[in-house]
Amino acid sequence: MLLFPNAKINLGLSILNKREDGYHNLESIFLPIPITDSLEFIESDETKFECNIIINEEKSNSVLMAYHLLKDKFNLPALSIYLYKNIPIGAGIGGGSADGAFMLKGLNDYYELGLTIQELKDYANKIGSDCPFFIDNKPSFIEGTGEILSEMELDLSNYYFALINPNIHISTREAFSNHTVIKKERTSLLSHIKNEPIENWKKYIVNDFESSIFEIYPEIEKIKEKLYQKGAIYASMTGTGSTVYGIFEKKVDLDEFDSSYFKACVTIPTTF
């Protein structure tokens, strides 16, 4: 079976508070984007995993985590699994989470396991907090640690999204360890997205990780500034970084950004 897990971006990311369990309550809006990996599995005499990049730890391999979760429950056969990574890792656009979620969905469909959407989300949440989003794979308002999802109407198909990743790997742990939660009065991101035209998002929609990440990696801040210089209506770092995106009314040339960077300019389909 051949699958094409897609990435996502965050429209804003608010870190509300730290919980007693050590995690943080967040608010964000996730938007799926058409930048994909390719993932294939076929039955085999023994389970093996191959990838075009090195993934050292099985516990960080979301595809194998998904496979073993369902293998143990449904006694699935051994599989040969092939993953081609095109989505940058440690980039804040959910590539690893998407791979795990798509593996769950693919196994459910191929072996007719009969898992409901909610059951798939429950399994996905065991892999990572962003994984449940990719089960529905629709624009969603995110709360809690990422596990509370509310589907929303958001059509940005008339705009171009330019994404730049400077090949800086930022782990979620690193991002949170360098960020200090600031208590302040907040208006929900959902309210801003619904009530403000995109031209006003620059005033109201913020990724709280930017202040600490930009201090450590000024190169990422420069990318955001350059996107605004090129005419972006709105620009932001996504997730915990290091990818930055800009929203444009017309397709934009990205050749002037460093040739070593991951670069893409895409439109967002209304359905995935």
Q: Which residues are catalytic?
A: 8, 130
Strand ranges across the sheet with 48-51: 2-3, 38-43, 79-84, 48-51
